[in-house]
Amino acid sequence: MSRRRPTRALVLVLGLAALLAAPRPGRGQDGDSGDYDPASRAWNGLSTLAGLARGAGYEVATVTGLDWSELGASDLLVLLYPLRRVDPGSLESFIAAGGHVVLADDFGQSADAMGQLSLLRAEVGAADADRFHKGRAFAPIATPQATHPVVDGVTEVVTNHPAVLTRVTGATGVLGFRGQSVVVAGQRGTGRFVVLTDPSIFINRMLEFPGNLRLASNILRWLDRGGRIRRVVLLRGDVPMFGEPQAFIDDAGAGPLGRSIASLNNWLRQRSEWLLTPTAMRVVAAVLATALVVLVLAAMPPRRARGSDGRWLALTRPGRRDAVDRMVADAEAGRDFLPAATLLRDAAQRALTRATGLDDPLYAVSEAQLTGAVGQARGADAAAALGRVYRRLRALPSRSQAAAPWSATRLAQREFDRLHDDVTELCRTLGEES
């Protein structure tokens, strides 16, 4: 059967009294409020850990209520022995979005959250350790289980009545006993997490052990986003948690540009969260109403001294884009040669009709039939002139298509000049006057 502690403070008192055999303030003096207090220098405080964080350049902020949506890329979340249930979905979403978190809990309310991270926590009577500090069964010594930055330079860590992780999936057990892990490090999505099953590792007395202190320093270093973490958000004990994590917090693999865009998005999101007071809302409404009135007045036609005859409502139709004079003007101005090329095609079509007697000769008969008819009617020179220009004339669009504003086809001036010369030669051989 699993064994639960009577109270957290009682175990810390009894365990550390025997573990270190050093004078400490009595529980009657400190009370339970000293547990995990970053301002406390007592044996069960966190002043050493807080000093370590501040020395690394972080602000340490102890929260009395955690809003997941307020945590960003510059925050490192530390959950120490939470006495309210840590929502598994919120924790996993926070990490997957790029959040970094330390979860240190042995018998608190984080078992479900650990399970969401594929970690199975067990409460054991005695750890299966090779060594114990001064032979004390409640003080098993954990040793590295894998090569990892979190245990760099760490040879042993003294624990105090730890729980253990008996199943670790998708993460790395970096410190523990035989088949049991006490410290696990992993990644989920774009975020990182470190889970410890003994939060007392971080209290002042336990950080007097060199391995424990080195472990705490390594954890901060591994989770600092390359020096971009600015604040350690500490949640300890009975603290409510609410809200939803941001959809995107950070991506360690992103470059400077990607991070700049993410920072801009976060700034815009924060700017959209402020609320207007009722007075401010009335002022904004008055300004918008005034602007609307001005726009309406500006849109109204000016008042005329004499009666309006309605001519200002008349629709002025623009000129046709496929008008011959406009097409010629566009070509002479060098704006568009394709419509003018269709005029050349139409001129050649009329000349071929007069020479062969065929209706719509370019499209009604094949090239071979038309060439034969032209050769029979006007001779070999005319047939050769048609062969040089036939396919280019057939490839041209209709006049309306060429003049349409959405037409994407363009004809270079050099191609137009060449087509003009070849059509002129064809018309000459067909007996057309210049």
**One-character DSSP codes across 37-86:** -TT--STT--HHHHHHHHHTT-EEEE-SSEEGGG--TTEEEEEEEESSPP
Q: What is residue 26's predicted lDDT score, i.e. its pLDDT?
A: 35
- pLDDT bin (cut points 50, 70, 90) of residue 319 is low
Residue range 419-430: mean pLDDT, rounded: 90
Q: What is residue 155's predicted lDDT score, i.e. its pLDDT?
A: 97
Candidate from 29-33, 295-299, 324-328, 396-400 with smallest mean pLDDT: 29-33
Q: Could you report the per-residue pLDDT of 363-404, keeping only the tens digit for each?
A: 888 999 999 998 998 999 989 988 999 999 888 888 888 777
CA distance 164 to 172: 14
Percent over 70 (pLDDT), the chain: 82
Mind giving me the DSSP string for 84-105? Answer: SPPPHHHHHHHHHTT-EEEEE-
> Per residue in 228-264, is it b (16+ CB within 10 Å) or e — as a string?
ebebbbbbbbebebeeebbebbbbeeeeeeebeebee
Q: What is residue 194's predicted lDDT score, i.e. its pLDDT?
A: 98
- Long-range CB contacts (within 8 A, 24+) of 12-17: 12/44, 12/160, 12/200, 12/203, 15/138, 15/139, 15/160, 15/161, 15/200, 16/43, 16/44, 16/160, 16/200, 16/205, 16/206
Q: Is the pLDDT of residue 341 over 80?
A: yes
Q: What is residue 51's predicted lDDT score, i.e. its pLDDT?
A: 96
Mean pLDDT over all residues of the chain?
A: 85
Q: 3-class SS at 165?
A: strand
- pLDDT bin (cut points 50, 70, 90) of residue 127 is confident
The answer to whether residues 168 and 197 touch, using CB atoms and an 8 Å cutoff, is no
CA distance 238 to 165: 23
Q: Is the pLDDT of residue 312 over 80?
A: no
State how beta strands 172-177 and 241-242 pair.
unpaired
Q: What is residue 434's predicted lDDT score, i.e. its pLDDT?
A: 58
**Residue 223: C-alpha distances to residues 155, 421, 422 (Å):** 21, 76, 77
First to last CA, the chain: 112
- pLDDT bin (cut points 50, 70, 90) of residue 6 is very low
Q: What is residue 269's predicted lDDT score, i.e. its pLDDT?
A: 57
Burial class (CB in 10 A: 0-12, 13-18, 19+), 418: middle
The answer to whether residues 164 and 197 touch, using CB atoms and an 8 Å cutoff, is yes
Q: What is residue 262's predicted lDDT score, i.e. its pLDDT?
A: 64
Length of the chain: 434
- pLDDT bin (cut points 50, 70, 90) of residue 62 is very high
Neighbours of 3 (CB within 10 A): 10
- pLDDT bin (cut points 50, 70, 90) of residue 310 is low
Higher pLDDT, 91 or 1: 91
Q: What is residue 331's predicted lDDT score, i.e. its pLDDT?
A: 76
CA distance 392 to 355: 20
Q: Is the pLDDT of residue 407 over 80?
A: no
Instruction: Identify the DSSP state of 335.
Output: S
State how beta strands 172-177 and 164-168 pair.
unpaired
Q: Which of 65, 9, 63 minimizes the C-alpha distance to 199?
A: 9
Q: Is the pLDDT of residue 235 over 90?
A: yes
